[in-house]
Structure 1
Amino acid sequence: MAEHPIQGLMKTAMASIKDMVDVNTIVGDAVETPDGTVIIPISRVTFGFAAGGGDYDPEEVEEGADNSHTAFGGGSGAGVSVRPVGFLVCSPTTGVRFMPVEGNVVYDRLIDMVPQAISKFQDIMCKKDTSDKMDELAETAETSKMHS
C-alpha cells in the first residue's frame, strides 16, 4: 500500500522538531570556573504538534489538474518553548546545589540546606555521645581506683 501524503507531512514535521529539541537543549553545556566549580544550565522544553488534511475526489479538482490520483490538501505546525529553569552548581567546597532562576528563593534555599543541617545535627549528637561515653569511662576508672 502506498504511503499517504499525510504520513510524509508528519514525518517531515517530527524530524524538524527532533532537530530543534535534543538533550543539549534541556541540559546545556557545562561551564567550569577557575576555582573548579562546574555550572550546568537547565531548561524546561515544551512543544506541541498538529497535522491535518483532507482527500478530495478527483472529479472535484479543477479542470486541467492531474486527476490520476486522489487530491490531498493538508498542513502541519509545531511550536517549541524553551524556558531557563536554573543552574546545577557542582562545587568542590559546597557540593552540588540547584540554583533556580525564579520562584521563591527563600524556600528553595531552606530545602537546599536541609541535608547540611541534618548532617551537622548528626555530628553534634555523635560528639555528645562520645563525650558522654568518655565521662562514663573516666568515672568508672575513678571508681575502680577508689576501690583498689
Structure 2
Amino acid sequence: MIRRIGPPPLPSQRYIRRPGAYAILPLKGRFLLTAETGNGIDIQLPGGGIDPGESPVQALHREVREELGWTIARPRRLGAFRRFVYMPEYDLWAEKICHVYVAHPVRQIHAPTEPLHETLVLSADDAIAVLGNEGDQMFMTRYAFG
C-alpha cells in the first residue's frame, strides 16, 4: 500500500490514476527545484507524469530536462506516495502516484522548455519551507536530515 499524503478522496468524485516520477537533486549542498508560475507560484520537486510506454526513470530524465534544462545521472528510487488532487491544467481529478528518486545533476544543457517553469536552487531548510505539497516536503526532509 502506498501512503496517502494530504486530504482523502472525495467520495462523490471519480479519480484517474496518474503515475509520475519526481527528483530530489542535490547540488553543492543545495537542491534544484522547479517553480511553476501559471496561477501563482507552486514550488515542486522536478518531475511529472509518466507517458504511455515510458518507464519511470525515462520519464524522470525527460521531465528534469523539460522543467530545468538539466541532465541527471544515477537515479535511485527513494519511495512513493499518493495524493488526490484536481489538476486544472488537464481539467482532471487525479490520484497521483508519485515515485520519488534522488539523482545527481550533471549539467545544464538549456533553459527550461516547459512553459511557466523556472529553476530554483535552495538550501534544504528553504526547500522544505516552500515546497507546495506535503509529500515533496516529507521526502526532502527524510533525504536531507535522515
TM-score interval for Structure 1 and Structure 2 normalised by the shorter chain: under 0.3
The answer to which structure, 1 or 2, has the higher relative contact order (CA under 8 A, 6+ apart) is 2
**TM-score of the superposition, structure 2-length normalised?**
0.20
Report which of the two has the higher share of strand. Answer: 2
Report which of the two has the higher share of helix. Answer: 1
**TM-score of the superposition, structure 1-length normalised?**
0.20
